[in-house]
Amino acid sequence: MISARKHMRAAVFVSLFFVAISGLVLQNMPNEAVAQEDAAQEESGAVVQENSADASQEEPGAEQEAISDAGQEESGAEEQEAPADAAPTTSDAEVECYESRKDATRLTKKDNVNPKYGYPNVKCSPTTKAVLWYGDPYDDTEPIGDTPSFGDYTDGDFAQAVIRPRTKHLKTIIQNGGMQCSGCHPGADPATQKNDPRELMMHQDIVSDALVLEHGRGAIWCFDCHNAANRDTLVNHRGDEVSFNESYKLCGSCHGSTYSEWRMGLHGKRTGEWRVGGKKRWWTCTECHNPHTVEEHRFDPVKPEPPPALPRGMSEDDYKGAGNHGGH
Amino acid sequence: MSEDKRKNDIAEGQDDGTTKESRRDFLKKLGVAAAATTVAPVATAKAASISEHLQTHFEMMSDSQKEKAIARLEERYTEQFGKQVTVAGTPAPEGVLFGYALNISKCIGCRRCVEACVRENNQSRGDHEYPNSAIQWIRVLEMVRGNDTFQVENLHKGSPSSSAIGDYGVQAGGHADKAVGISGHAEHYYEPELVPEENAFYFPVQCHQCEDPPCVRACPVRATYRDPNGIVVIDYNWCIGCRMCQLACPYWARRFNWGEPVLPNEDMNPKTHYLGNRPRMRGVMEKCTFCLQRVRDGRYPACLEACPVGARKFGNLLDPESEIRKVLATKKVFRFKEDFATEPKFFYYMD
Amino acid sequence: MTTTTQPASAFQKPIAFARDFCMYTVKGGKVFYSWMLFLSFFAIVGLVTTYIQMTTGLIVTGATDQIVWELFVASFIHCPSIASAAVLVVTPAYIYKRKDMKQLAVIGEAIAMVFVIIGLNFIFFHMGRPDRFWHAIPVLGIFNFPSSVLTYDIIVLNVYLVLNAVAVFYYLYKHYVGQPLNTKFYTPLIWFAVAWGPFIHIITAFILSSNAQIAVWHTALMPFSFLAMAAAAGPALVIVTLLVIRKFTKLEVADSAIDFFSQVIIWGVGVLILMFAVEFFTELYPATHHAAPLEYAINGHNGLNPYGPWFWSIMTIFVVQFILLCIKKVRKSYNFLLPLICVSVFLSVLIEKPAVLIFPAFSPTALGEYAVYHPTLIEIFNVLFVWATGFILLTLVLKGVVGVLTGEVRDSQVVEEGGAK
C-alpha cells in the first residue's frame, strides 16, 4: 500500500497541475464579453453607414437620375466611398439604394412599410448599397399597361404584371420641382434630322463618346431610339412614340427573340409571386442592361459583396499557395 | 398568444449578458476550486423550455402540438430578439414540386444572392473570435476560363513527361505535372474591385434539393427530410448534430452551427417559418430551403429577387406554363455532379 | 474479500459479488495508485474542458464546414478496432480450444466491453446536441433504420456492448460462486459475440465508405483494411495488458498465448501494408479526382503540405514494425522490445486515423477547397478525458477480472469449502 503521506503529496501535486491547466484553458475559452462588444459595434456601424449615405444625399445632384445629370457619376462614386467612420448623426432620413444598375435604378429605403414585421421596403447591402432584399416587392410599381397581347401563353400573366415606371425619374434638378427632358430639349432640333452624330456637350456620363456608340455596332445612333420630337419619350423605327416605361417595346423591335423570351419569363428578371398568373414585377430591359454601353458590357460591372471567411486556420498566403484548384 | 402578452414579453434591455457572465463566473469558480463536479447539464439557448426539449418531430406533431410548439418558439424568439417574431407553420401547397434554374452565362458573381440569403434566412453573422461561425448557404465560385493558359511557352511544361528510368527518345509517361492549359480552377474568395472579371465566369452553388438526397438517407433520426414540395428541410429541434448529412452532401450545401449563432437583433428577420428561417440554435445543421417561408407564401426566394441580372429562375416543375419548365424545355440545361445520381431539382443552363 | 455474510435471498450473492468486485478493484499498490492518479489528472482537467465544449459548442474544436470531423471521430474509429480484438482472444480459446487461452478469453471480452464504451463516449462528444441523444432511441425518438448507416452502427455497437458485458460478468460471477458455466447459454453467447465482433468494424467502415462524396473513402477495401487494423492494434493492446498482468498479478499467462498474439499482429500489419499498397496503386495510377485527397495527404497541394510528414512517418513505422516483428528474438523480448512495439502499433494505428484517413480526406471539399485541420487545446483535452476515463474503467475492470480469475475475489462459502478441501 502506498503511504498516506506520499498519497497526499501526489494529490497536492496533481491538483496544482490541474489549477494551472484550468487557468490556461480559461484563458483560451471564448470571451463572450468581447463578442458582445463587437456586436454592439456592428450595430453602431450600421447606423453610421446609413447616416453617411444620408449625408451624401444632401449634396446637390445626388437625388437626380443619371440620365439627366452629368455630375451623377462623381456623386455616385462619393456615395460609394462614403467613409464608414463618419461622425454619426441622429437623423434617420431615408437611404437610397440601387437595384440592378448603379446610378440608374434606384429605390429609397422606407422603414416600416410592413408594420406587422417592422419591415422596410428594401434592405440594402452595407458595403455596396445594392438592394438585396425586398420587404415589399411591388414598391413604387404600377400595372404594366396596355401591352398588346402577344398571342402566346403568357397572356394570363399580364393581368397581374407590374413594372417600375421610369418616366417619373427622368427629372433634372435645374429648376426646383424638376423637369422632364423636354424642359431643356423642347421641340425638334434640326441636327437630329440626319444621321450625323456629333460629340456631346452634356451627358458624357451616359454616353462617353457619341461617335462610337456602344450599341448596334455602329449601325444606330441616338435618335434611332430617342424621340427627337418629344425628348420625354422614345421612338421606334416606324416613328411610333414609345414611353420610357415600355422600353421593351422598343428594344424588342430589334431583339425579337430576346423579347419573346422575356415575354415568356425566360429572359430577364421577375420578382413577386412564383405562381403562373401571380402578381409579378417584370423587370424591363433597361433596369438590367445599360443601352448605351451594352456592346462593351452586357451588364455594368458592379462591386461584389465581400467574400466569405477563409477556412479556419488558413491564412491568405496558405490559400494562395494552395491555389485552391477545385472543380472536381 | 395575444398581442398584449407578446408586448409584455419584450422585456426592454433584457440582455443575455447577465446569464453569460454568471456562467463564466461559475466556470472560474469551478476551475479554481478544482471541484470534481459532475458534467453540468448542457446549457441550451436562453429560455428554451423543458417542453421544447421534450417535443417530438414536427411532422409527428398533432395540429394542437404544432400550435403549442410554434407559440413556444414565438415567445422565446420575441423575448430574445426584442421584437415581435412570427413562426409560421404554413403547410406545403398541393400539387407543387419546386425547381430552380440558374443561368451561368448571365451570372456576374456579385454575391448579392449570398447576402440576400443571409439576411432573409437569419444565418449566423459570425464574430471576430470565430469568423468561421458566419454561415452562408450559397457559395459562388469564380471559374477561370482556360483559353489564356493555352500558350506556346507552356507546351513543353506539360505531359507526357519522359520516363524517369530511361528515355529511349519516346515519351512513355502519362504523368502530367502541369497541363498545358489549366481550366476548371475555382476560386471561392475572389475579391476584385468590380465583377464580372475578364476571363472568368461564375458558378453559384447552393442546396440542390435532390430527389434522392443522400443527406436524408444519412440522417439517423430523420430530422432532415424531403417535404411534399420536394424541398429538403430540417427540423432544427430534432437534429442531433451528428453531421452525417454534411458528409453525404456532394454539393457542400449544408452548414453546421458550430457555436451559438450570432444574429444581431436589428438584423433579425422576424417573419419566419418553423422549417425555414427561424433562428437556429447551437449544434444543429442548416441549409438552403428555397426560402421555404417565402415560397410557401407564394413569393420568390430571396436570392432570386436579389439577382441583378435575372440569372435565377424558380417555379413549379409540375406546371408546364411555369418559367422553370420553359427553361427546361428550351435551354441547354445540365445538372451539377450528375454522376452522384441524386437527381437535383437545381439546374444550370446557358443561353 | 473476507466477508462472511450468509446468502439470504436470490440477490444476496450478486450483490456480494458486486461489492467484492468493486472493493477489490479500488485497492492496490503503489504502481496502481500512481497509474490511477495519472489518469485522474486528465479526467479532472477534462471535466472542465468538457464543460466548456458542452456550453459553448463544437466551435471550441478545430472542426469547420470544410473538415467536419474532429479528433473525436478519428479516435472513435480506433475503438471498434480494439473492441474487435476480443474475437481474436475468444476464437482460439473456444473454437480452437486452446488451453492456454481459456482463461484469457474473458480479458479480451472485458477489453472489448470497455472500448465500446469509450467509442460511445467519443460519439457523445462528437454530437452537436448530445442532449438530444434520445431522438435516436428507437421507441422514444425516430430510428431511421435501415436507411442511415449510423443506425446500424448504433445497433452493432450496443449489441456488442451488451453481449460482452453479459459474457464477462456471467463468467466472472460463475467463477466467483464456484459454479460451472451453463454451456447451453454461454457457448452460443460466445459464438454469437465472435460472429458479431467483425460487424462493429465493418459497419464503422461503412460509415466512412458510404459517403460517395469523399472519394478516397468510397472504396470496398475500407472494411477490410479496418479489420486488418483491428488485427494489428487489438492484439497489441492485449499483449501489453497480458504482460502487465503477468508482471503485477498472480495470474499466469503462458508465453504461448503471447506468441500467438504477436503472430496475429504480424498478419494484421502485413495485410494492412498490402491493403495500403493496393489502395494507393488503384487510386494513384489513374490519378483521377478520386486520388486528390490521397495526393494531398502524401505530397500536399501546391506547396500546402500539412499531412505529408505524418503520412510518410506512419507508413515507415508500419513497415519497420512489420520487419521487427518478423524477427523471433524481438517477439520473445517480453520485457522490452515486444511491449514497445505493441505500444507503437497501437499508437500508429491510432494516429493514422486523423492524420492519414480522416483529415486529408476532406480536402478537396465537394467544391474543391483545400483546408488544414488545427486541433484545439480544449479538443485535445477532451480526447484525453475520454481516453483517461476509458483507461480508468479498463484498469478497474481488468483488475477485478484478474482478481476473480486468481481467486482473490471469491464467494466466502466457496473459500471455506475450498479451504476444507
- In the three-class reduction of DSSP (H, G, I as helix; E, B as strand; rest coil), residue C153 is classed as helix
Express each pLDDT in B277-326 by its tens digit: 999 999 999 999 999 999 999 999 999 999 999 999 999 999 998 999 99
Are B248 and C213 a contacting pair at CB < 8 A?
A: yes
Q: Kindly state whether C56 is in contact with chain A, defined as any CB-CB distance less than 8 angstroms.
A: yes
Cross-chain CB nearest to A325 (options B106, B185, B321): B185
Count residue pairs from A and B with Cβ separation < 8 A. 206
Nearest CA-CA distance, residue A131 and chain C, Å: 28
Q: Which of C41, C68, C288 has the highest number of chain A CBs within 10 A, making it the mutation to test binding with A?
A: C41
B193 exposure class (CB count in 10 Å sphere: 0-12, 13-18, 19+):
exposed
Express each pLDDT in C142-153 by its tens digit: 999 999 999 999
Which amino acid is present at A38? D
Q: Kindly state whether B139 is in contact with chain A, defined as any CB-CB distance less than 8 angstroms.
A: yes
Q: Which C positions 283-312 lie with beta carbon below 8 A of chain B?
A: 287
Q: In chain C, which residues have their Cβ closer than 8 Å to the Cβ of B52? A: none
CATH code of B98-144+188-267+285-350, in short, is 3.30.70.20
Distance of CA B46 to CAs A108, B49, B50, Å? 37, 9, 11
Cross-chain CB nearest to C372 (options A22, A314, A328): A314
pLDDT value for A186: 81
Higher pLDDT pick, C371 / C417: C371
The x, y and z cell numbers of residue B280, run together, are 437556429
Is 70 exceeded by the pLDDT of residue C310?
yes
Higher pLDDT pick, A88 / B158: B158
CB A198 within 8 A of CB A191: yes
Give the relative orientation of helices C255-284 and C292-299 as an angle to the nearest 10 degrees.
110
Q: Which chains touch A (3 or more CB pairs under 8 A)?
A: B, C
Mean pLDDT of C30-49: 96
CB C53 within 8 A of CB C393: no
Residue with cell 481550366: B183
How many Å apart are CA B232 and CA B225, to the nearest integer? 5
Q: Which chains touch B (3 or more CB pairs under 8 A)?
A: A, C
Which residue of chain B comes nearest to C154, CA vs CA? B220
Q: Kindly state whether B258 is in contact with chain A, defined as any CB-CB distance less than 8 angstroms.
A: no
pLDDT value for B7: 38
pLDDT value for A108: 87
Q: Which of B30, B219, B221 has the highest number of chain C CBs within 10 A, making it the mutation to test binding with C?
A: B221
Express each pLDDT in B164-219 by its tens digit: 666 666 655 554 555 555 555 788 999 999 989 988 899 999 999 999 999 999 99
Superfamily of domain C28-410: Formate dehydrogenase/DMSO reductase domain (1.20.1630.10)
Long-range CB pairs of A170-179 (<8 Å, 24+ gap) are A170/A65, A170/A67, A170/A68, A170/A232, A170/A244, A171/A64, A171/A65, A171/A68, A172/A64, A172/A68, A172/A69, A173/A60, A173/A61, A173/A63, A173/A64, A173/A68, A173/A69, A178/A64
Count residue pairs from B and C with Cβ separation < 8 A. 163
pTM value > 0.90: no
CB A235 within 8 A of CB A222: no
pLDDT value for B133: 85
Distance of CA C289 to CAs B74, B109, B245, B336, C215, Å? 47, 26, 22, 16, 8
Q: Kindly state whether B192 is in contact with chain A, defined as any CB-CB distance less than 8 angstroms.
A: yes
Reference A190, options A235, A228, A221, A226; nearest CA is A228
Task: Kindly list the domain boundaries of chain C, sorted by start residue.
Answer: 28-410
How confident is chain A (328 residues) per 10-residue block, as mean pLDDT?
Answer: 48 53 49 42 40 38 37 37 38 71 84 84 90 90 70 60 85 60 77 77 85 89 89 89 90 91 90 91 92 91 92 72 46
Q: How confident is the model at residue B29 (pLDDT cuts 50, 70, 90)?
A: very low
Q: Kindly state whether B188 is in contact with chain A, defined as any CB-CB distance less than 8 angstroms.
A: yes
Distance, first Cα to last Cα, chain A: 63
Q: Which of B133, B309, B331 has the highest number of chain A CBs within 10 A, making it the mutation to test binding with A?
A: B309
Q: Which of A25, A125, A133, A315 has the highest number of chain B CBs within 10 A, making it the mutation to test binding with B?
A: A133
Task: Kindly list the domain boundaries of chain A, sorted by start residue.
Answer: 142-288
Are B258 and C63 a contacting pair at CB < 8 A?
A: yes
pLDDT value for C11: 84
Q: In chain A, which residues have their Cβ closer than 8 Å to the Cβ of B185? A: 323, 325-327
Mean pLDDT of B16-43: 39
A202 exposure class (CB count in 10 Å sphere: 0-12, 13-18, 19+):
exposed
pLDDT value for A13: 52
Express each pLDDT in C81-130 by its tens digit: 899 878 889 989 888 888 888 889 999 999 999 999 999 999 999 999 99
Per the DSSP assignment, residues forming a β-bridge with B255 are B286
Are A39 and B83 a contacting pair at CB < 8 A?
A: no
pLDDT more than 90, % of chain B: 67
DSSP letter at A190 equals G
pLDDT value for A63: 37
Nearest CA-CA distance, residue C48 and chain A, Å: 7
Are C44 and A321 a contacting pair at CB < 8 A?
A: no
Nearest CA-CA distance, residue A150 and chain C, Å: 43
Q: What is the mean pLDDT of chain B?
A: 83
Do you find a cis peptide bond into B301, omega within 30 degrees of 0? no
CB atoms within 10 A of CB B50: 7
